């Protein structure tokens, strides 16, 4: 496995593969890897000749300074996990490589980047789009793998690729969970033991919501979820919304869209967790 810190070394290593029509599978990450990330790597490995994983904590997608400072960084462990998965290349740049000067690009994804995460984390998706576009330009992947855990991000990346005509296929990957249902996240390691015990309540509530989606309308169901979360004194709800899985428009009536998804963001202590569930 190769580890490159610069754009030029990464590009020179990958160029001959590209020239020989070898397919490149790409998994962009911010490190602090867990089984959820590794599931993406496994899938990329199965579907491509060569797998590139990037590890870069992208400062411009953090609207909260504290969150950026506290973001876990575990490069040595990440590298050994990736080596064990058969990853071929780690691209591990520092900030000066990625942003020799500030990137002022402004993306507009219409409604996609205004709701939910977009509303509560201003500038977040613009920062995500800037870094993913840069990474795609460097790695030139055939396929890129993104988790459905960050469902809104996945829709934005699909829009980015379409708007910019980037020749890459975006592969959505299912949410990987702990045995108790908690969606795996690099942020989970910041939970205290007590918080960690409470955390599965989020997914349990989503599962119950799915069960209730044939008895309650979206508005009633939303209120039911809000009430469940608010009754738990350790959780602070940021949002729960039921949206059209393709457009992210609010769903007024379940029959009005092909599939709807319930998306949630919750604070547990000072750790912000997100999750989602396909309702129908």
**Residues labelled as active-site residues:** 37
Site for ligand AMP in 38-97 (CB under 6 A): 40
Of 189, 197, 180, nearest to 271 by C-alpha is 189
Q: How far is the CB of 36 from ligand AMP (least distance, A)?
A: 3
Specify the stretch interacting with ligand AMP by CB under 6 A; choose among 89-97, 144-152, 199-207, 221-229: 144-152
Span from 78-86, 106-114, 172-180, 206-214 in contact with ligand AMP (CB under 6 A): 172-180
Binding to ligand AMP, residues 232-271 (CB under 6 A): none
Segment near ligand AMP (CB under 6 A); pick from 64-72, 95-103, 119-127, 146-154: 146-154
* 13-26 per-residue burial string, b: 16 or more CB within 10 A, e: under 16: bbeebbeeeebbbb
# of chain residues touching ligand AMP (CB under 6 A): 16
What string of DSSP letters covers 80-94?
HHHHHHT--EEE---
Residue of 50, 135, 183, 243 interacting with ligand AMP (CB under 6 A): 183
Whole-number Å distance between alpha carbons of 172 and 170: 6
Is 188 among the residues that bind ligand AMP (CB under 6 A)?
Answer: no
Q: Does 156 sit near ligand AMP (CB under 6 A)?
A: no
H-assigned helices in the chain: 7-19, 35-47, 65-70, 75-85, 95-98, 117-120, 124-139, 151-163, 193-198, 201-212, 218-231
First and final C-alpha spacing in the chain: 42
> Does the footprint of ligand AMP cover residue 149 (CB under 6 A)?
yes
DSSP-derived letter for residue 1 is: -
Q: Which single residue brings its beta carbon nearest to ligand AMP?
A: 147
Residue 274: in which H helix or E strand, if any? strand 271-278
Q: Which residues bind ligand AMP (CB under 6 A)?
A: 29-30, 36-37, 40, 146-147, 149-150, 173, 175-176, 183-186
């Amino acid at each position: 496995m190769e580890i490159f810190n610069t754009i030029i070394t990464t590009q020179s290593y990958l160029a001959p593969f590209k020239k020989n029509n070898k397919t490149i599978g790409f998994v962009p990450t911010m490190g602090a890897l867990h089984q959820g990330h590794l599931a993406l790597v496994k899938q990329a490995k199965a579907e491509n000749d060569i797998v590139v994983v990037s590890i870069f904590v992208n400062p411009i997608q953090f609207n909260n300074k504290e969150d950026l400072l506290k973001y876990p960084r575990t490069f040595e462990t990440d590298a050994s996990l990736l080596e064990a998965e058969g990853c071929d290349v780690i691209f591990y740049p520092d900030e000066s490589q990625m942003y020799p000067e500030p990137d002022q690009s402004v993306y507009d994804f219409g409604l996609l980047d205004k709701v939910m995460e977009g509303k509560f984390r201003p500038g977040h998706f613009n920062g995500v789009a800037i870094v993913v576009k840069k990474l795609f330009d460097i790695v030139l992947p055939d396929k890129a793998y993104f988790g459905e855990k960050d469902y809104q991000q996945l829709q934005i990346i699909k829009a980015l690729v379409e708007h910019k005509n980037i020749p890459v296929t975006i592969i959505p990957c299912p949410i990987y969970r702990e045995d108790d249902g908690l969606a795996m996240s690099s942020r989970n390691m910041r939970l205290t033991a007590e918080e960690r015990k409470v955390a599965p309540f989020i997914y349990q509530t989503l599962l119950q919501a799915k069960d209730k989606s044939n008895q309650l309308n979206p508005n009633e169901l939303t209120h039911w979820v809000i009430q469940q979360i608010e009754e738990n004194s350790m959780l602070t709800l940021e949002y729960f919304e039921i949206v059209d899985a393709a457009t992210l428009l609010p769903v007024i009536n379940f029959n009005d869209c092909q599939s709807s998804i319930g998306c949630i963001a919750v604070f547990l202590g000072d750790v912000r967790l997100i999750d989602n569930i396909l309702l129908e």
